[in-house]
Amino acid sequence: MKKIFIGLSAIFILVLGLVSCDSEYVKYSGPNYIMFSDTLSVLPVQNNKEYFDIAVSATEVCDYDRTLGVEIIDKKSNAVEGEHYALESNTVTIKAGEYAANVHVRGIYDNIAVTDSLGFVLHLVTEKESQWDIYGIETKVILQKVCPFDINVFSGYAVVISSYFTSYMKDVDQRLIRTEIDKNEENTVIMKDYFYKGYDLKVKFTTNDLLNPLIEMEDQRFAYTPDAFNTIYGDGEIWAYQAGAYLSYYSTCEKFIFQYMTLHVPGMPAGKDEVGTYANAVRWISDDEAQKLIEEGINNSLK
């Protein structure tokens, strides 16, 4: 089972005193507390039956099994059990000789919208003497719907809007472009005639982190300076790279990318080569939607 944990894990390790300043082993000898290992978990809910682990930890082992109740605090939750998620069991057992166990939670994919902000709070039912006031006995679980990545979603017609238009393409409020899958680079699409005819742009989709669907873009040609600025600057071309100070990401569910790009002109004097950083949103649409936009006279490079 995949474990997604955010919060107190590092602190908890320090509390156990695994390593001292002089690297000598130190054994924890305090009270026997039981708690959730983290105060917050974010679960990427996919279209499958996968259960996720919400860890429960103890500061001491025992020579017997310890079974605790797991309750849902409705007043602190907006997700509904049985509709948005399911618990495998309303109890959790820390086995004899062990420090930890897991509460198993599954999100219900079909009942969660990608725009939903759903969560619930779990509460451990324990005796008062085993509760550590510093950390408490509750944890919050956030449910985030994640559609399976499919590169084909990002192929075909797309509509582009950009803050760049306001500065340098004042007669354009959106552009209709075509995109195609790059046959030579994995998880990469080519956005044809992205802002200017003859200048394509490639973006790559990362797929290794379900909760952080990011895009990547190498430095590449963006435009001819006379087309953008009505004169030749530097080497005559504008280049674009992904702005490192901002996150550029995608949504397979909603069929879009949101990208920050920085433009620069090679050959210009130092300090004068950067044009600026601009935000772009690209949304993929159907052929029928594209045809309707063409009939309505959208500014695009396909005419």
Determine contact, residues 294/157, Cβ cutoff 8 Å.
Answer: no
Q: How far is CA 192 from the centre of its chain?
A: 26
List residues bridging with 283 in a β-sheet: 159, 256
Reply yes or no on whether the pLDDT at 32 is more than 90: no
**Is pTM, for the whole model, over 0.85?**
no
The CATH classification number of 9-145 equals 2.60.40.1740
CA distance 222 to 239: 5
pLDDT over 60 at 129, yes or no: yes
Contact present, 45 and 76 (Cβ < 8 Å): no
DSSP letters of 149-167? P-GGGGSEEEEEEEHHHHH
Mean pLDDT across the stretch 268-273? 90
Classify the phi-psi angles of 276: left when phi > 0, otherwise alpha if psi is within -120 to 50, otherwise beta. Answer: left
What SS3 class is residue 290? helix
Q: Which burial class, exposed, middle or buried, applies to 162 when counting CB atoms under 10 A from its CB (0-12, 13-18, 19+)?
A: buried
Q: What percent of the chain has pLDDT over 70?
A: 88
- Cα-Cα-Cα-Cα dihedral sign, residues 83, 84, 88, 91: negative
Each domain of the chain, given as residue ranges in start order, spans 9-145, 151-295
pLDDT classification of 8: cutoffs 50, 70, 90: very low
Decide if pLDDT at 151 tops 70.
yes
Categorize the per-residue pLDDT at 135 as very low, low, confident or very high, splitting at 50, 70 and 90.
confident
**Residue 15 has what pLDDT?**
41
**Secondary element (H or E) of residue 166:** helix 163-168
Number of residues written out for the chain: 303
